[in-house]
Amino acid sequence: MSAAANNIDGLGDGAVIRVRDLVVAFGGKAVLDRLSLDVRRGEILGFVGASGAGKSVLMRTIIGLVPKRAGLIEVDGVDLGAASAGARRRIERRWGILFQQGALFSSLTVRQNVQFPIREYLRVSKRLLDEIALAKLEMVGLAPDVADKYPAQLSGGMTKRVALARALALDPDIVFLDEPTSGLDPIGAGEFDDLIRTLQRTLGLTVFMVTHDLDSLHTVCDRIAVLAEGRVIAAGPIAAMLACEHPWVQSYFHGKRSRVDGARAA
Amino acid sequence: MNGEPLLESASVGGRLALSAGGLWTAERAGELERLIERVIARHPRIGGVDIDMARVQRLDTFGAWLLERLLRAIAAAGGEVRVTGLAEPYRALVARAGEVNGAAPASPRRMMLAASLEVVGRTVMQVGRDIGAAVAMIGALAAALGRAAAHPTSFRLTSMVNQIDRVGWRAVPIVLLITFLIGAILAQQGLFHFRQFGAQIYVVDMVGILVLREVGVLMVAVMVAGRSGSAYTAELGSMKMREEIDALRTMGFDPVDVLVLPRVLALVVALPCLTFLGAMAALYGGGLMCWAYGGMSPDVYIARMRDAVSLGDFAIGLVKAPFMGLIIGVIAGTQGLAVTGSTESLGRKTTDSVVKSIFLVILVDGVLAMFFAAVGV
C-alpha cells in the first residue's frame, strides 16, 4: 500500500489542508520524504508515528516554523510557498496552535495571554476584551480566578487549557494540537479529549492533532494518519487502522498497551 | 461594505423587532459591539423583543457573546426576548455563550497612593530578604567548605578547574586589553594636565599607585561581574527553572556543594590572577603612553616606578581581589537560586546579579580604602 502513496484513502476534495510531496530535510537526512496528506474540513485528524518520525516536524512545516525543501502546502487553496506576506498573514489568522509545552508567555497573566492575539489583531473595546477572554477561559473549563495567575503558577492540565484558550482566541477555523494530552493523567486526558470534541462541534473546527494517546485516537479522532519512513503509510478511521497490515501500524494498534486486545476482557 | 454586521430595529405591534445580518465574527467585533450598545442605549425600557438572526452569514464566539450580552441587557431591563432564525450550526455555540461570564468580570483596580506605597514596602522587604539570602549563602558556602575539608575526595576539583578555565583563563585577553587601555588613558590624562606645571614625572606615581591599589582590582572585578557573574546566575537560574536543582537535591546532593562552591572558589582563585595580569597590563599601557606621548624613556619610567610604589601598594590591590571574587560569586549564586518559574524572573535576577555585585564591589573597595588609610598602610 505504501507503493501508491498518493492514492491512499483520504486524499481528495474537500481538504482544508493539502500537503503534496513534501520534503523536509535537516542536513543530508530527509525527515519527511515526499509526504502527502489531506486534512478535511470539520474533522479531527489524529497524526501518529514513532517518536522522532517527524510528526512535530510536519506540523511545524505546515505552520511555517520549519522550511521545506520541496513540495506543496495548501491551506484553503492558498499555496503557502507562493503566497504573499499579506495572504500568509490572513491564513495565519485563521489557525490556532497548541504547543506541546503550552508556550504561554511567562511574563503575562493568563488573561493577558488569551487577550494577546485579540489585542494585536482586532480593535475591540477593553470591556469586550475582558469578557471574551473570560468566556474563552470558561469554555475550556477554567474558573475565572485563574485569569490573573501567571503561567508558572499553573498545573500541567491548566497550562494546556490556557494554551488551548489562547489558540482559540481569534476563533480560528483550524487548530493544530501538538500532543495535547501528553503529561496529563488519564482522567485529565479524557476530559481534555471531551473538551476538544465539544469545542470542535460547537465552533466547527478542523483539528490536526499530533498524539500518542491511543484513547484519544479511539474516542475523538475522525481519521488517523500514520507517519513512518518519512511519509504517510496509512490514513483512515480507526477501523481501517485496526485492519491495516503494515507491521508498525499492527504493533501500534494491537500492542500490549492498545485497548483493542488488552482491555477487551474488562 | 460587504459582510458588514447589521442590527436593524423596528417597532412591530408594541414589540421591538431586531433584524440581524452580515458577519458576526471576530473581525467585525468592534463594529458589532457599537451596534449592540447603541440598541441597548436607545431602548432603555423594552417590553418584548424579537431578534431575527436569519440573515447572519457567519457567527463565531465573539458574535455569540455579543448576542448574549444583548440578551442579558434586555433581561436586566425587564424585557422578554425571542431569538428566531438562528442557523443550526450556531445554536450550540450561542447556547454555550449563554453559560459563560456569570459574574461580571472586573479588572483589579487599586488606588495610586496605596499602590506606590505597596511598591516601597515590597522593595524594603525584598532588600531585607536579599541580605538574608546572601548571608545564608555565605553560611551554606562555609558549611560546604567545611564538608569539603573534612572529606577532600568529595570536593569537585574537576568542576572548579573547569570554572577557573572559564572565568580566569578565557577572560585574560579581554582583561589585558581593557586594563591596558585604562592604564594608557590614565597616563595620557595625567601627562596632559601635569605638563602645565612641569610635573610630568609624577604621572608615574599616580599611575602606579592608582593602578596597583584601586583601578586594577576594580576594573577586573567589574568586568568579571559582568562577564562571569551574569553567566553564573543565568546558568543556575535556568537549572532551577528546569528542575535540575531539585533533581540534584533528591539524589542527596547539596546544590551549594555541587554547583556554587566550585564556582565561587574559581572566582576567588581567578580574580587575584586576573588582577595581577590586569595591573601589569595597565602599568605597561601607562609606560607606553609616557614614552610615546610624554617623551619619557622606559628606563626613567621604570626607575621612577620603583621609587614611587611600595610592595604594600601592590599587596593591597591583590589582597582585595579574593574578596571581590567572593562577593561576585555569592551574589551570582544567591540570585541564580532565587530564580522562579518564569523567563522574566531569569532576566531580572541576572540583571540584579550584575548590578548588585558591581555595587557591592565598589562599596567594599571604598570601605577598605578608608580602612587602609586609617591604619596607615
Residue at B367 is within a domain: yes
- Which ipTM score applies to this complex? 0.73
Domain boundary among B65, B99, B133: B99
- Cβ atoms of B252 and B354 within 8 Å: the answer is no
B340 is a domain residue = yes
Query: Taking a C-beta distance cutoff of 8 angstroms, is the pair B179, B278 a contact?
Result: yes
List of chain A residues whose C-beta atoms are within 8 Å of the C-beta of residue B340: 152
Q: Strands B6-12 and B15-24, how do they pair?
A: antiparallel
Nearest CA in chain B to A204: B89
**Based on the domain organization, do B283 and B197 belong to the same domain?**
yes
**Percent of chain B having pLDDT more than 90?**
47
Q: Residue B103's closest chain A neighbor by CA?
A: A144
Mean pLDDT of chain B: 87
A198-241 pLDDT, tens digit per residue, is 888 877 888 888 888 777 788 888 888 888 888 888 888 888 87
DSSP secondary structure string for all residues of B24-35: ESGGGHHHHHHH
Record: contact B93-A135, CB cut-off 8 A = no
Binary contact (B65, A203; C-beta < 8 A):
no
The reply to whether B221 and B88 lie within a common domain is: no
Mark whether B83 and B137 lie in a shared domain: no
Per-residue pLDDT, B102 = 65
Query: Does B351 share its domain with B255?
Result: yes
The closest of A46, A44, A31 to A212, measured between CA atoms, is: A46
- Do B52 and B138 lie in one domain? The reply is no
**A224 forms bridges with which residues in the sheet?**
A46, A236
CATH number for B75: 3.30.750.24
In a shared domain, residues B291 and B173: yes
Nearest to A131 among B25, B65, B340 (CB): B65
Other Cβ atoms closer than 10 A to B155: 18
Q: Does residue B339 belong to the interface with chain A, where contact is any CB pair within 8 Å?
A: no
What pLDDT does B171 receive?
94
Q: Which residues from A are below 8 Å from B341, CB to CB? A: 106, 150-153
Average pLDDT, chain A: 79
Q: Do A132 and B96 touch (CB under 8 A)?
A: no
Number of domains in chain B: 2
Contact residues on chain A for B91, CB-CB shorter than 8 A:
none
Is A122 in Cβ contact with B96 (below 8 Å)?
no
Q: Look at residue A157 in the predicted model and tell me its pLDDT.
A: 81
Q: Is B88 on the interface with A (CB under 8 A)?
A: no
Contact between B105 and A144 using a beta-carbon 8 Å cutoff = yes
**Domain limits for position B139:** 125-374
B346 and B289 part of one domain: yes
B25 contact residues in A (CB cutoff 8 A): 171
Predicted confidence band of residue B83 (pLDDT cuts 50, 70, 90): confident
Residue B104 lies in a domain: no
Which of B86, B107, B345 to mutate against chain A (most A CBs within 10 Å)? B107
For B99-123, the pLDDT digits (tens) are 777 655 555 566 788 888 999 999 9
Q: Whole-prediction pTM value?
A: 0.68
C-alpha cell at B113: 497612593
Determine, yes or no, domain membership for B271. yes
Q: Is residue B251 part of a domain?
A: yes
Note the pLDDT of residue A136: 84
Coil, helix or strand at residue B20: strand
**Residue B141 is placed in which grid cell?**
558556602
Domain membership of residue B106 (yes or no) is no
* Of A229, A225, A217, A209, residue with least CA distance to A255: A217
Distance from the A199 Cα atom to the nearest Cα atom in chain B, whole angstroms = 9
Which of B292 and A54 is assigned the larger pLDDT? B292
Name the packing angle between helices A126-139 and A156-167 (round to 10°): 130
B342 closest CB neighbour out of A150, A171, A203: A150
Say what the pLDDT of residue A104 is: 83
Q: What pLDDT sits at residue A44?
A: 87
In terms of Cα–Cα distance, which of B206, B259, B202, B261 is closest to B236?
Answer: B259
Task: Confirm or reject contact between B232 and chain A (CB < 8 A).
Answer: no
Is the model's pLDDT at A10 over the cut of 60? no
Question: Which residues are CB-neighbours of A163 under 8 A, at least 6 positions away?
Answer: A98, A99, A102, A103, A104
Give long-range contacts, CB 8 A cutoff, 24+ apart: A138-146: A138/B99, A138/B100, A138/B101, A139/A165, A139/A168, A139/A199, A139/B61, A139/B96, A139/B100, A140/A164, A140/A165, A140/A168, A140/A195, A140/A199, A141/A191, A141/A195, A142/A110, A144/B103, A144/B105, A146/A110
Which of B99, B116, B151 delimits the end of a domain?
Answer: B99
Phi, psi (deg, nearest 5) at residue A52: 85, 5
Same domain membership, residue B359 and residue B225: yes
Which run of H or E residues covers position A231? strand A231-236
Q: Using a pLDDT cut of 70, give the percent of chain B over it.
A: 96
Q: Look at residues B14, B35, B15, B11 and name the one whose alpha carbon lies nearest to residue B82.
A: B15
B193 in the same domain as B129: yes
pLDDT at A223: 87
Tell whether B141 and B88 lie within a shared domain: no
Most confident of A106-110, A153-157, B33-37, B198-202: B198-202
pLDDT exceeds cutoff 80 at B201: yes
B55 found inside a domain: yes
pLDDT in tens, B273-307: 999 999 999 999 999 999 999 889 999 999 999 99
pLDDT in tens, B132-147: 999 999 999 999 999 8
A8 band by pLDDT with thresholds 50, 70 and 90: very low
Q: Which secondary-structure segment (H or E) carries A45? A: strand A44-49
Cα–Cα–Cα angle for B375, B376, B377, rounded to 5 degrees? 100
CA distance B339 to B298: 52
Query: Does B96 reach chain A within 8 Å, measured CB to CB?
Result: yes
Residues of B in contact with A147 (CB under 8 A): 105
Report chain B residues whose CB lies below 8 A from the CB of A201.
92
> Per CB distance under 8 Å, which residues of A are interface residues toward B?
106-107, 118, 121-125, 128, 130-132, 134-136, 138-139, 144, 147-148, 150-153, 168, 170-171, 201-204
**CA–CA distance from A258 to each of A49, A253, B100, B328 (Å)?**
15, 6, 37, 56
Does B136 share its domain with B285? yes
Residues B78, B135 share a domain: no
Instruction: Tell me whether B57 touches chain A (CB under 8 Å).
Output: no
The grid coordinates of residue A15 equal 481538504
Is the pLDDT higher at B211 or at A200? B211
Q: Which residues contact A61 (CB under 8 A, 6 or more apart)?
A: A22, A24, A32, A67, A68, A73
Q: Tens digit of pLDDT for each residue in B216-252?
A: 999 999 999 999 999 999 999 999 888 888 888 888 7
Q: Mean pLDDT, to the nearest integer, of B69-84?
A: 80
> Residues of A with CB below 8 A from B97's CB?
135
What's phi and psi for B9, nearest 5 deg? -115, 145
- Check whether A262 has a pLDDT greater than 60: no
Q: What is the pLDDT of residue A263?
A: 46
**B120 lies in a domain?**
no
